[in-house]
């Protein structure tokens, strides 16, 4: 097992020092899913909910969340994001959420992509809960990441 970078030699939590790392182009893709009934999915796709177009609002919420990741996750670095794209698309049994985040810098954007997906899924739940409280947010995961010292990775 590799050493945990956010824990120092004495076991204390720390923010990793990235000042000596090269700035490289980095990108991460994450996904998640909100499982719901066919009736709730139809309501979401109609774009006429009482709170507005639920897919559009969730996509905007995901972008906003990616930009706030360092305020939410204690050891994350604030990053200048060059791209955040969040998509909410219909899929069998619910709505699939995908986030693609990009930067040029000394550390990756995996947490930003995961945060974008998580908040987009939570926003979908919030906007549709009047129709169905039993929706399930599931399968939030990193799909791929590129750049940096550790190189490229995909699920």
Residue-wise pLDDT for 43-60, tens only, equals 999 976 666 799 999 999
Task: Name which of 144, 42, 147 is nearest 99 in CA terms.
Answer: 144
Residue-wise pLDDT for 7-46, tens only, equals 777 778 777 778 788 889 999 999 999 999 999 999 999 9
Q: Determine the pLDDT at residue 1.
A: 43
Q: Determine the pLDDT at residue 78.
A: 92
Report the catalytic residues: 126
Angle subtended at Cα 72 by Cα 103 and Cα 113, rounded to the nearest 5 degrees: 35
Q: Compare 144 and 149 and report the one with higher pLDDT.
A: 144
Delimit the domains of the chain by residue range.
Answer: 24-146
Q: Determine the pLDDT at residue 2.
A: 54
Return the half-sphere exposure (C-beta side, CA atoms, 13 A cut-off) of residue 137. 17
Tokens read off for 68: 């706030």
Distance of CA 10 to the CA centre of its chain: 31
Give the DSSP H or E segment for 112. helix 110-128
Residue-wise pLDDT for 81-119, tens only, equals 999 999 999 999 999 999 999 999 988 899 999 999 999
- Asked whether the beta carbons of 118 and 140 are under 8 A apart, the reply is yes
Phi, psi values for residue 77, rounded to 5°: -85, 145
Give the DSSP H or E segment for 123. helix 110-128
Q: Considering only 24-28, 133-137, 148-152, which range has the smallest mean pLDDT?
A: 148-152
Q: Please identify, in words, the CATH class of the domain defined by 24-146.
A: alpha beta
Residue-wise pLDDT for 80-91, tens only, equals 999 999 999 999
pTM attached to this predicted model: 0.91
- Asked whether the beta carbons of 121 and 30 are under 8 A apart, the reply is no
């Amino acid at each position: 097992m590799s050493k945990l970078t956010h824990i120092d030699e004495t076991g204390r939590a720390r923010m990793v020092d990235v000042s000596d790392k090269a700035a490289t182009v980095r990108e991460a893709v994450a996904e998640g899913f909100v499982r719901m009934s066919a009736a709730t999915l139809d309501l979401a796709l109609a774009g006429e909910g009482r709170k507005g177009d639920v897919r559009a609002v969730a996509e905007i919420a995901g972008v906003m969340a990616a930009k706030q990741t360092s305020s939410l996750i204690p050891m994350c670095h604030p990053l200048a994001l060059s791209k955040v794209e969040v998509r909410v698309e219909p899929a069998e049994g619910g709505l699939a959420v995908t986030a693609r985040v990009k930067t040029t810098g000394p550390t990756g954007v995996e947490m930003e992509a995961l945060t974008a997906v998580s908040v987009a899924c939570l926003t979908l739940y919030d906007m549709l809960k009047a129709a169905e409280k039993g929706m399930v947010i599931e399968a939030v995961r990193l799909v791929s990441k590129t750049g940096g010292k550790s190189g490229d990775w995909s699920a």
